[in-house]
Amino acid sequence: MRWQRDRQRLIGAGALLTVVYLAFLIAWAYATPAFRSPDAPMHYNSVMRVMEGGGWPEPGEADIDPAVLTVAIEGGLVAAGAPDLGWGHFYRLNGGLIVGTGQYLADTDPLPEAQRSIPQFTGEGSVGVDQMTQHPPLYYGIAAGFLTMLGADSWQWDGQLLALSILSALMVMWVVPCTIYTARRLGLNRRLSLLAGASILAVPQLAHIGSAVTNDSLYILMGSLLIAACAKVLTTTPTRRDVIMVGALLGLGLWTKGTFVGFGLVAGLSFLASRGALPWTRKLKYGVSAGLLGVLVGGYWWVRNLVLYGVLQPSGFPNEAADWAGVEPRFSDFLALAWTDLMESFWGKFGWLELPLPSALIIALTLIALIMSACGLAAAREYRIPLLVLVLFVPLTIAVLTIQGWLNYQHTGEVSGMQGRYPFPGIVALAVLVSWGHVWLRRVGGPRLAQASESLFAIGSPLVGLIGLWTMLRAAYSSDSLLGFSWMTWDAWSIATGATLKLSVIVCVLGSAIIMVGGLRLAAMGAKAPAESHRR
């Protein structure tokens, strides 16, 4: 039957997109020098502490083991002889803002792979505070169990980091199929659903963070799965099985980061706004039940924090108060800096938030996303409420970050915490909303305008992804070659050397070319097809 063939093609194309995105994630794992992602040494330290049976100390009381400093020196994060992991000891990325030692990473001599050490975590001594114990321990337990299963306790540090990066990639790759599934649930045809999945490539920061050693990987996975589950609830008649699924995902997500709390509202509203033929009292009962199940599964950590510390999430280390010298901090000054940080670190601000994409590209991507989102809301009509419910996590999280950032700015005088990776669990809903914008363009401008917009996204999304990857390669392993970076230097510094390193880039380039050609072909073939085929 034709619908079966079309469904198989959708699944096949979606699987191809997922494989291509996994290749991007692994290429980023290879391209990023050791510990050159936000808080990576502390994340690694916490994983290794759990694996070695060191437990989960109280916030602010966990130490960074001296073995982590050894890895940071051998991996090129900090200079030899550095006493700790302070930014003042960092090697610079070409074009980065961290001055550090004043020396570029590409100008330093990498330690030969054979001489890289096997970390010995003794629990004796300290080179800093590991603030990660302010978070729930679920990711760290999973990562420690993964390394234990592989027998990685006797590996060199580069093998351990590679294994943890691949674990993150295997978690984050599910963003693509979740996006395609959600798009279909929310009324987009197969072509636009695939385009929504491909548009994930246009956010290089997601691939950078999604391949790093960080609890953000589990945070993003749980959010993506929960949005897909809520999309089903919104577009069908909910069942008790849906209540269990949504509640369980919500609870597991609460074991990742405090900002996941915003999904509680998304989950509850999904049942209330469901299109299913149920009395509103039954919908309310299901929504409350899902929320209570989420609290039952994942609420312990946050209740514990309130009882022990009086706050939902205590600080991992103390912050010094700023001396404003009688001058009142201005919200306008804070907002200008905060929202610049937020936009840059959403699209691409690599390393330790030191290496942004070109400002013109970030502004263009932001404007395109905002315009297409507005067009998507205008076009969605019967799917407008489901879209608003699913995308709610993003503005809610940004609002919370802004409030917290402003309070912190008043206290410390520094803009911190405005990081674009925190809304990433909601990126599935954002991609679907943006893709609905193509429907509006077809209605207003006809098939030609729609074909042009779809072609632009099909070509532009993987192209932006490759630009992001190239930006990191050029900054970390810069040379005067035609590509702007040295393969030999990259191979010498990488946590995975040899043929696998180059193979990942080849797969990225070939996969991107397939998406571009396939997108053009789909757009051309579908230029005269109805824009909304819903469940066809």
On whether both 102 and 179 belong to a single domain, the answer is: no
- pLDDT at res. 523: 54
- pLDDT at res. 312: 82
- pLDDT at res. 101: 78
Residue 96, pLDDT > 60, answer yes
pLDDT band at 393 (very low <50, low <70, confident <90, very high): very high
Residue 99, pLDDT > 50, answer yes
pLDDT per position as a tens digit, 395-406 = 999 999 998 888
On whether both 12 and 60 belong to a single domain, the answer is: no
Q: Is residue 446 part of a domain?
A: yes
Indicate the SS3 state at residue 355. strand
Q: Is residue 536 part of a domain?
A: no
pLDDT band at 531 (very low <50, low <70, confident <90, very high): very low
Number of domains in the chain: 2
pLDDT per position as a tens digit, 431-450 = 999 999 999 998 998 888 88
For the ranges 139-143, 174-178, 238-242, 487-491, the lowest mean pLDDT is seen at 487-491
Q: Among 133, 168, 203, which residue terminates a domain?
A: 168
pLDDT band at 139 (very low <50, low <70, confident <90, very high): very high
Dihedral, CA of residue 367, residue 423, residue 431 and residue 139, to nearest 10:
150
94: exposed, middle or buried (Cβ count in 10 Å: 0-12, 13-18, 19+) = middle
Tell me how crowded residue 408 is: count the other CB atoms within 10 A of its CB: 19
On whether both 256 and 387 belong to a single domain, the answer is: yes
75: tokens are: 């991996």
- pLDDT at res. 7: 81
CB under 8 Å to 144, separation ≥6 — which residues?
Answer: 47, 48, 50, 51
Q: Is residue 530 part of a domain?
A: no
Residue 124, pLDDT > 90, answer no
Residue 253, pLDDT > 80, answer yes
Residue 247, pLDDT > 90, answer yes
Indicate the SS3 state at residue 192. helix
Q: What average pLDDT score do residues 305-317 get?
A: 81
Q: What average pLDDT score do residues 201-217 get?
A: 97
Q: Is residue 132 part of a domain?
A: yes
pLDDT per position as a tens digit, 146-166 = 999 999 989 999 999 999 999
On whether both 73 and 203 belong to a single domain, the answer is: no
Tell me how far apart the alpha carbons of residues 478 and 251 are, in angstroms, rounded to a whole number.
44
Q: Among 135, 168, 201, which residue terminates a domain?
A: 168
Q: What average pLDDT score do residues 115-122 get?
A: 91
Is the pLDDT higher at 218 or at 324?
218
Q: Among 119, 151, 168, which residue terminates a domain?
A: 168
On whether both 79 and 149 belong to a single domain, the answer is: yes
Which domain, by its residues, includes 473? 2-31+169-525
pLDDT band at 528 (very low <50, low <70, confident <90, very high): very low
On whether both 225 and 85 belong to a single domain, the answer is: no
On whether both 353 and 481 belong to a single domain, the answer is: yes
Q: What average pLDDT score do residues 85-104 get?
A: 86
- pLDDT at res. 316: 58
Q: What average pLDDT score do residues 322-335 get?
A: 76
Is the pLDDT higher at 434 or at 516?
434
Residue 510, CA distances (Å) to 19, 134, 202, 517 in order: 12, 42, 16, 11
On whether both 394 and 504 belong to a single domain, the answer is: yes
- pLDDT at res. 455: 87
Residue 533, pLDDT > 90, answer no
Residue 532, pLDDT > 50, answer no
Share of the chain above pLDDT 70, in %: 93
Phi/psi for 62 (5° steps) reads -90, 135
For the ranges 198-202, 282-286, 323-327, the lowest mean pLDDT is seen at 323-327
On whether both 499 and 517 belong to a single domain, the answer is: yes
Q: Is residue 365 part of a domain?
A: yes
- For 240-273, the DSSP string reads HHHHHHHHHHHHHHTTT-GGGGGHHHHHHHHHHT
Residue 421, pLDDT > 70, answer yes
pTM: 0.94
pLDDT per position as a tens digit, 339-362 = 899 999 999 999 999 999 999 999
Q: What average pLDDT score do residues 73-101 get?
A: 89
For the ranges 307-316, 318-327, 487-496, the lowest mean pLDDT is seen at 318-327
Is the pLDDT higher at 479 or at 164?
164
Mean pLDDT of the chain: 89
Is the pLDDT higher at 86 or at 510?
86
Q: Is residue 268 part of a domain?
A: yes
Q: What average pLDDT score do residues 237-255 get?
A: 96
- pLDDT at res. 350: 96
Residue 534, pLDDT > 60, answer no
Q: What average pLDDT score do residues 68-74 get?
A: 96
On whether both 338 and 225 belong to a single domain, the answer is: yes
517: tokens are: 């050609």
On whether both 156 and 185 belong to a single domain, the answer is: no
For the ranges 79-83, 150-154, 410-414, 451-455, the lowest mean pLDDT is seen at 410-414
Q: Is residue 534 part of a domain?
A: no
Q: Is residue 368 part of a domain?
A: yes
- pLDDT at res. 47: 97
On whether both 331 and 287 belong to a single domain, the answer is: yes
